[in-house]
Amino acid sequence: MQVLDKVRNFIDKNLTATVYYPHEEMKKHTTFKTGGPADLLVEPGRITELQQLIQYVRQEKIPYLIIGRGSNLIVGDKGIRELVIKIGKKLSRCEVKGEEVTAEAGAAIIDVAQAAQAHALTGLEFAGGIPGSVGGAVFMNAGAYDGEIKDVLEEVLVLTVSGELTVRKKEELALGYRTSLMQKNGDIILQAKFKLQKGDQAAIDLRMRELKQRREKSQPLDLPSAGSVFKRPPGYYTGKLIQDANLKGYQIGGAQVSPKHAGFIVNTGKATSSDIVNLIRHIQAEVKKLFGVELETEVRIIGEF
């Protein structure tokens, strides 16, 4: 029996709230709208079922990958042979109690920021335009406009590589610029608790609107992308380096350096993931040649090309 058939059988027998999709086109799960088929994509319906699934695949030594909303991912055009586990809408409960907001990993961080605003809680305004999940935002320590997850996170509930549910405090998570402990230890983020502060609802609303307008003005939000492709190298602005290398608007296949924001690559309609990765490599080579600066990708590249 094929390994992934074994996973399907296990789910059919044991996990009533979990759904799976064979040969699932990953372009449906990435904001770049590119990427070939995953042999099997599973969306767990409960934390307990995810725990059972992880125990099973570990015991059977079946490799897997975790994804959230696919807003920081490039998936190869030949797709993914590992089991893909999507922490999505089925695990997206969000609860506000006093100044604490607890959200499951599949909740959209934008929805969590809006829930905070609705309860006159300040601290998450910066996240009002980040199109990822809570899990992805914690994993990446996402940030914008002088705010980052690290500023407001209190603790996370994770499923460790040995299959245990553990609460980890913020101080243990090694959160830094677009980095976290989870990028190293393979913990799956299940839930995050944010500690916010009472604020003025109108002021929070105004700040969120302002930031939305700034994004709309400066970012190519009308075309598929994964936001900033590269991390900011110390002492430089990525967009300026790319612009100074004369690459604004430069195109390979359907992938283009956004004429609006040189730090973004956009899918102009028919881009493949290979077009995007080839463009990334070209930008890295040019910027290195001209300015001696190594650009490291912020987006994560997975699957087969």
Ligand X SMILES: Cc1cc2nc3c(=O)[nH]c(=O)nc-3n(C[C@H](O)[C@H](O)[C@H](O)COP(=O)(O)OP(=O)(O)OC[C@H]3O[C@@H](n4cnc5c(N)ncnc54)[C@H](O)[C@@H]3O)c2cc1C
Contact 279, 287 (CB under 8 A): no
Number of residues that bind ligand X (CB under 6 A): 31
Query: So which residues are the catalytic ones?
Result: 178, 228, 298
Over the window 95 to 114, marking each residue x when it contacts ligand X by CB under 6 A and - when it does not, the resulting string is ----------x---------
Alpha-carbon span 107 to 101, nearest angstrom: 12
Measure the CA dihedral 59/86/160/164, to 10°. -70
User: What type of residue sits at position 18?
Assistant: T
Q: Is 73 in the site for ligand X (CB under 6 A)?
A: yes
Q: Which of 19, 120, 144, 293 binds ligand X (CB under 6 A)?
A: 144
Determine phi and psi for 198, rounding to 5 degrees. -60, 135
Q: Is 33 in the site for ligand X (CB under 6 A)?
A: no
Q: Which of 140, 153, 271, 276 binds ligand X (CB under 6 A)?
A: 140
Q: Is 71 in the site for ligand X (CB under 6 A)?
A: yes
Q: Which of 87, 153, 252, 265 binds ligand X (CB under 6 A)?
A: 87
Q: Which of 47, 50, 66, 116 binds ligand X (CB under 6 A)?
A: 66
Q: Which of 35, 37, 44, 68 binds ligand X (CB under 6 A)?
A: 68
CB of 256 to ligand X, least distance (A): 15
Partnered with residue 158 across adjacent β-strands are: 166, 189
Q: Which of 15, 94, 112, 137 binds ligand X (CB under 6 A)?
A: 137
CB of 243 to ligand X, least distance (A): 19
User: What type of residue sits at position 67?
Assistant: I
Q: Is 182 in the site for ligand X (CB under 6 A)?
A: yes
Residues, the chain: 305
* Closer CB to ligand X, 141 or 286, in the complex: 141
Long-range pairs for 61-67 at CB < 8 Å and ≥24 separation?
62/3, 62/4, 62/6, 62/7, 65/302, 66/135, 66/188, 67/29
Over the window 285 to 304, marking each residue x when it contacts ligand X by CB under 6 A and - when it does not, the resulting string is ---------------x----
What sign does the dihedral 53-54-57-62 (CA atoms) show?
Answer: positive
Classify residue 169 by its DSSP letter: E
> What angle (nearest 5°) sits at the alpha carbon of residue 71, between those of residues 68 and 76?
90
- The contact set with ligand X (CB under 6 A) reads 31, 66-73, 87, 105, 130-133, 135-137, 139-140, 142-144, 182, 188-189, 221, 225-227, 300
